[in-house]
Chain A
Amino acid sequence: MLEVAQLECVRGDRRLFSDLSFALGPGELLQVRGPNGAGKTSLLRMLCGLMLPAHGEIRWKGSPVKELGENYYRDVTYLGHLPAVKDELTAEENLRIASGLDGIEIERREAYAALKTMGLQGRETLPAKVLSAGQRRRVALARLLVCGTVLWVLDEPLTALDRSAAGLVQSLIAGHLEKGGVAVLTTHHDLHLQSRHLELGT
C-alpha cells in the first residue's frame, strides 16, 4: 500500500539519506531507527507530504502522493514531536477540534470515552496548559482512537509516557495493524510488536 522508491533527503548542505526504498502492505509496521540527525523525522515528514524529497517517489495505493493532494490525508494520521495540543483549550475541545479538522466530527460522549481509554478520565475539561507533558501526549494519542485512518505515521509516540500508557499505545497500534492498517514510526523504546526495521545514518 505504501511504496517508497529511491528516496533522497537533502537538508541544508547535507545529504541525509539516498536511494531509500521499501514497501509496506496491510498489517505491516515499520520501525525507523538511527542516531539523532540521521533523518528519521525528515523521512516521516516526507511520507506525510510536509517535505519534498530531493529525489525519488512515494506512492500510496499505487498513486504518487504528489498527485493525490489533499485526498491522501483522508488516509493518513501524523503525530509529530510536538503533541499539537492548544494550551488554551480543554482536553475534550482539543480532541474534538483536531478530529473535526480532519473531517470527523465526534460527539462529547465519544471524546470522553476516548480520553477515558487514554487514562484522562476526570481531566477532560481541564485546559491543556495544566496537564503534564505525558498527559498532553495522551490527548494527542487519543486521536488515534477516533481517526479511523489506514496509515499511521508516528514520530516518537511513546515520549513522556509511563509504562502503562506506553503499553496501551502499543496495543492500540497492534489493533490497528490487525485491522489491516499500516504504521511507520520512530522510537528508541523497545516495541513488543512484530515489525520491520529501517536503520538510517549508518
Chain B
Amino acid sequence: MRVEGTLSLVAYVIRRDLLLAMRRRADVLTTLFFFVIVVSLFPLGVGPDPNLLRTMAPGVVWVAALLASMLSLGRLFSADYLDGTLEQMMLTPQPLSLMVLGKVVAHWLVSGVPLVLIAPVLGIQFNLDLEALMVLVVSLILGTPVLSIIGAIGAALTLGLRGGGVLLSLLVLPLYIPVLIFGAGAVDASLSGLAFQAHLSLLGAFTVFALLFAPWATAAALRISME
C-alpha cells in the first residue's frame, strides 16, 4: 500500500528516530545531565554571590545549552551512517532535505526540549525572577531548534571523519553565535528591566531563516560525505 504525501513520510522519520531514542535512553539522559553539570560548575568557579550569578545566568545557561546540543549532534547521523540505514534514507522517493528535517525535529525533541524543561529549575538556582525565567524558556524554545538544524550541517560535513567531535564543534560554534547573542540578550534585557521583544523577534526570524535553508545545505553535505 503506497503512502504518498510528504508530511506522512517526514512523520515516519520522526517516529522512527523517537523510537530509536527511546530504546537508547542513556544517550538522552547524558545530554541532559551534561547541561545541568556545566551550569552548576559556574557558581563553583566564580563564587556564590547572588547578584553576580543573576547577571551571569543568561550567558551561562545559553552557553551550556550550546555545548550540550553540540555533544548530542555527533549522534544525529553517525549511528545511521555506520549501519547503512543513512544510505537507504538517501534512496527514498522523498527529497532528502525533508528526511533531514524529520531527523532534526526528532533530535530537537530528544535533546532540545529536555533542556527547555529543566532550564527554569537552573534559573531559580541563579536567582532569576519569574519574568526572566519565562523569557529564558521562550528564548530556549525559539533557539534550540536552530542549534539542531545548523548543527546538522556540521554533523553532515564531518560524517565519518576522525576527530569528528572536536572538528564539529569548531565548525558549528561560530555559526551559533547569533543565537547566543539574541537568546542570552533577551534574558539579560528582562533582568535589566528593558524590552526583550526585539531580541526574541530576531531570534525567531533567525530560526525561520535557518529552518528554510539549513535542511537543504545539510542534504547537500550528506550527499558529499556519502559519495
Which residues from chain A sit less than 8 Å from chain B, CB to CB? 48-52, 70-71, 73-74, 76, 78, 80-89, 93, 97-98, 100-106, 127
Q: How far is the CA of A48 from the CA of B93 in the complex (A)?
A: 12
Chain B residues contacting A87 (CB-CB under 8 Å) are: 83
Contact B19 A73, beta carbon cutoff 8 Å: no
27 A-B pairs whose Cβ atoms sit less than 8 Å apart in the complex: A49-B91, A50-B91, A51-B227, A52-B227, A73-B91, A73-B93, A78-B88, A81-B84, A83-B84, A84-B83, A84-B84, A84-B87, A84-B88, A86-B20, A88-B23, A89-B19, A89-B23, A93-B19, A97-B16, A98-B85, A101-B9, A101-B12, A101-B89, A102-B92, A103-B93, A103-B94, A104-B2
Contact A106 B1, beta carbon cutoff 8 Å: yes
- In addition to A98-B88, A100-B12, 6 A-B residue pairs with Cβ atoms within 8 Å of each other are A70-B92, A78-B87, A80-B87, A81-B84, A102-B92, A103-B93
Chain B residues contacting A89 (CB-CB under 8 Å) are: 19-20, 23
Closest residue on chain B to residue A93 by CB atoms = B19
Residue interface mask B1-24, A partner, CB < 8 A = 1: 111100001001100100110011
Closest residue on chain A to residue B20 by CB atoms = A88
Question: How many CB-defined contacts (below 8 Å) exist between A and B?
Answer: 81
A82 contact from B20, B83, B89, Cβ within 8 A? B83
Q: How far is the CA of A166 from the CA of B93 in the complex (A)?
A: 29
Q: How far is the CA of A106 from the CA of B1 in the complex (A)?
A: 7
Which residues from chain B sit less than 8 Å from chain A, CB to CB? 1-4, 9, 12-13, 16, 19-20, 23-24, 83-85, 87-95, 99, 226-227
Q: How far is the CA of A81 from the CA of B90 in the complex (A)?
A: 15
Contact B20 A105, beta carbon cutoff 8 Å: no
Contact A104 B1, beta carbon cutoff 8 Å: yes
Q: How far is the CA of A51 from the CA of B224 in the complex (A)?
A: 9
Q: How far is the CA of A18 from the CA of B227 in the complex (A)?
A: 18
A78 contact from B91, B99, B227, Cβ within 8 A? B91
Closest residue on chain A to residue B21 by CB atoms = A88
Nearest Cβ on chain A to B79's Cβ, whole angstroms: 8
Q: How far is the CA of A82 from the CA of B19 in the complex (A)?
A: 21
A71-B20 contact, Cβ under 8 Å, with A80-B84, A84-B87:
no
Q: How far is the CA of A30 from the CA of B2 in the complex (A)?
A: 28
Q: How far is the CA of A93 from the CA of B15 in the complex (A)?
A: 12
A103-B9 contact, Cβ under 8 Å, with A73-B93, A74-B93:
yes
A70-B85 contact, Cβ under 8 Å, with A89-B23, A93-B19:
no
Q: How far is the CA of A119 from the CA of B159 in the complex (A)?
A: 35
Nearest Cβ on chain B to A79's Cβ, whole angstroms: 9
Closest residue on chain A to residue B99 by CB atoms = A101
Q: How far is the CA of A97 from the CA of B14 in the complex (A)?
A: 11
Contact B2 A103, beta carbon cutoff 8 Å: yes
Contact B12 A97, beta carbon cutoff 8 Å: yes
Closest residue on chain B to residue A51 by CB atoms = B227
Closest residue on chain B to residue A42 by CB atoms = B227
Closest residue on chain B to residue A81 by CB atoms = B84
Contact A100 B84, beta carbon cutoff 8 Å: no
